[in-house]
Amino acid sequence: MIRLGVDIGGTFTDIVLIDDDAGTLTVAKVPSVPADPAAALVAAVRRALERAGASAEHVAMLSHGTTIVTNAVLEDTLPATALVTTAGFRDVLEIGRHLRPDMYDLMQDKPRPLVPRERRFGVRERTAADGALLVPLDADGAREILDAIRASGAQAVAISFLHAYANPANETAMKRAVTAALPGVLVAASSDVCREIREFERTSTVALNAAAMPVVARYLDALRERLAPVLPKTQVLLMQSNGGSMTVGAARQAPAHLVYSGPAAGVLACQFIGRLTGRDNVLGFDMGGTSTDISLVYRGVPRMTTEGGIGGHPVKLPMLDVHTIGAGGGSIAWLDAGDGLHVGPRSAGADPGPAAYGRGGTEPTVTDANLVLGRLAPDRFLGGEMRLDRDRALAAITERVAHPLGLDPVRAAWGIVRIANANMERALRVSSAERGYDPRDFTLVAFGGAGPLHAAALAAPVGFPWVLVPETPGVFSALGLLVADIRHDLVQSFLARTDDVPPARVEALFADLERVGHELLAEDGVAADRRVLQRSADLRYVGQAYEVHVPMPAGPLDAARLADVTQRFHAEHQRLFAHSAARDPVEIVSVRVAAIAPVVPPALRERPATTTAPKPVTRRPVFFDELDGFADCRVFDRRDLGPGARFAGPAIVEQMDSTTVVHPGQVVIADGWGNLLVAVGGHTPA
């Protein structure tokens, strides 16, 4: 059986092919096609099958991460969408929380609402916070709104009624009316997408979900058309923001779950490699062509959040907690009005790309700087499949940075790399130490096409003792796609004090969510004996405005287990915030069920260590710092570094999908899983 994982990035589309019977892994990269992502995906599939000498008939599954929703939001290309709300609440998207992203910027602009005011409509209806139906849906008012939506030309409709999380009856009635009156218009109700309290976040989430439905539907149709001739018998899965996979049918109905589809795969890959190597605490450093994604796995469990967002729009859905900054290999170096040097967040992307690509790019990027510094080889980029033009890179840096600042071009390139590193170093601190995690307890996992180029320089100042570079770092996220379970996250808001609520009432809520979970997995074609249901809850002290997520003990909820959950909450609050109040009353805010169909992870095999000393394939001058300038540096081929191989920096390790830079004073050892462990700051690899 063959499985494919395809990660569509801003610059390259990566693919990993795993043959479960042979226990082999094949990787490939092709340039992304922003205007037609499905074309790049099919090209990657063909390339991987050709390299592996495999038949398309043996491909059982293709899982892929996509930025289709992310790009549509950030590029403001979502289709016209209408919003139907309770009368008097149609401005909730603009009122929001009155929060200022930058409290000292008096000239800042708020993000434009996902739905403009002329396409937001209020209808007479009302549900109480406890779910009591106070005012049924006004049928006459609903018909008038349907006529207005038809005239507006909206391609999708979002419905978000007050307190619909407690009783969706009125939303369901409105959804039926829209479906009957407006054929071809896609519709989403908040009670189907996000059954949680907080009106603004819930409305924002369903508005984004509805707006993304036409975009995702068109993409999936194009994908099916392109893949049918190549993989006619293959099940296609898409990566969700929560780290689970979803079927094509589920993605059509809930595209908001794809907002962080791309970065999520990298988090799972970090969790997988951590388990494989016995490292429970890892921090993922995924530096690609346009951005850097940072994620944390603590005690073997990825950090999650339900307070995410994109482009200034809240998305209240469970998702892996990924910190993204605009720093990548394609990040453009530019000068401000005062001749201050900046790097990013604007990127050269895949087209035209860095100046060194020779595709018309004229602005200097981080990749151009690394090439000028000798860290990249012009004739061995992507394993020799793509040649870099050092003269073009040097000319771009000279014209745009070095000449205006009166600098030597090499020193200007060094400045570009230092500024990019400073941006990423700050993000690493935010994701670890500033959240209460000691970097000394973590291994920094460097991946993405540019991650291993920069990770070893960042680890020491932040405090990470080791950097782990996977065997295939440039396509590591694609590997994460192959370890993602099919998953549905279900939630129901329910406010009650733990010392007052009958346990049977909470148990009934869990039972209802589990019933829905079974139904969803059955629609996905998952057999009953393969389904796993996990319970959890959001709790807080009475009077607090934020919650703490707490796993629930196994078995039906009774008084003893409810008391245990309360104690778990106190302990977790203490760990997160360094204080707790065991005598204060605690309340449940929401109950959650994760309905999961686990996948069988790839059966990678550990290889025995060898005593053969690695030999460099060549040497070249590489610029490491201003004091020493260029240093004579050994260059190794990654394929020559078998288990047990050990050497000291300065050194460069080249492979098809990435390049690893080892700085002076650092030590590298290859393990039996094909990883490189780089010891920084005088530590010995373990």
Higher-pLDDT residue of 270 and 381 is 270
Contact yes or no for 346/336 (Cβ under 8 A)? no
Nearest to 211, CA basis, from 80, 76, 35: 80
pLDDT (0 to 100) of residue 685: 43
Average pLDDT over residues 623-645: 89
Residue 135 is which amino acid?
V
Nearest to 177, CA basis, from 214, 134, 140, 209: 140
Burial of 527 (0-12, 13-18, 19+ CB in 10 A): exposed
Tokens of 431: 């994701």
Average pLDDT over residues 518-535: 91
Burial of 273 (0-12, 13-18, 19+ CB in 10 A): buried
What are the CB-based long-range contacts (under 8 Å, 24+) for 565-572?
565/498, 565/537, 565/539, 566/498, 566/499, 566/539, 569/539, 572/548
pLDDT (0 to 100) of residue 72: 85
Q: pLDDT digit string (tens) for 383-438?
A: 667 789 999 999 999 999 999 999 999 999 999 999 999 999 999 998 888 887 89
pLDDT (0 to 100) of residue 483: 87
3-state secondary structure of 559: helix
Distances in whole angstroms, Cα of residue 501 to Cα of each of 163, 353, 498, 586, 593 = 20, 59, 6, 11, 19
Average pLDDT over residues 522-531: 90
pLDDT (0 to 100) of residue 335: 93
Average pLDDT over residues 371-376: 94
Q: pLDDT digit string (tens) for 639-649?
A: 999 899 999 98
Q: How confident is the model at residue 152 (pLDDT cuts 50, 70, 90)?
A: very high
Q: What is the DSSP string of 83-151?
A: EEEETT-TTHHHHTT---SSTT-TTPPPPPPSS-GGGEEEES-EE-TTS-EEE---HHHHHHHHHHHHH
Strand ranges, E, within 149-233: 156-160, 186-189
Q: pLDDT digit string (tens) for 116-147?
A: 999 999 999 999 999 999 999 999 999 999 99
Q: pLDDT digit string (tens) for 350-364?
A: 678 899 998 888 999
Tokens of 19: 């043959």
Whether the per-residue pLDDT at 290 is higher than 90: the answer is no
pLDDT (0 to 100) of residue 73: 85
Higher-pLDDT residue of 619 and 327 is 619
Whether the per-residue pLDDT at 682 is higher than 70: the answer is no
Sign, CA torsion 32/37/42/48: positive
Q: pLDDT digit string (tens) for 312-338?
A: 889 999 899 888 888 888 899 999 989
Tokens of 479: 């590997």
What separation, in Å, do the N-terminal and C-terminal C-alpha atoms of the chain show?
Answer: 34
What is the β-pairing status of strands 59-65 and 341-347? unpaired
Other Cβ atoms closer than 10 A to 46: 15
Left (φ > 0), alpha (ψ -120 to 50) or beta: where does 250 sit?
alpha
CB-facing half-sphere around the CA of 544: CA atoms within 13 A: 19
403 contacts: CB under 8 Å, gap ≥ 6: none
Higher-pLDDT residue of 421 and 606 is 421
Tokens of 582: 């065991």
Contact yes or no for 365/412 (Cβ under 8 A)? no
Q: How confident is the model at residue 601 (pLDDT cuts 50, 70, 90)?
A: confident
Nearest to 148, CA basis, from 173, 188, 182, 186: 182
Strand ranges, E, within 240-298: 245-247, 282-287, 292-298
Average pLDDT over residues 535-548: 93
Taken as a whole, the chain contains a residue count of 686
Q: What is the average pLDDT score of the chain? A: 90
Strand partners, 677: 468, 669
Average pLDDT over residues 650-657: 91
Average pLDDT over residues 544-561: 89
Nearest to 602, CA basis, from 12, 16, 9: 16
Average pLDDT over residues 98-126: 86
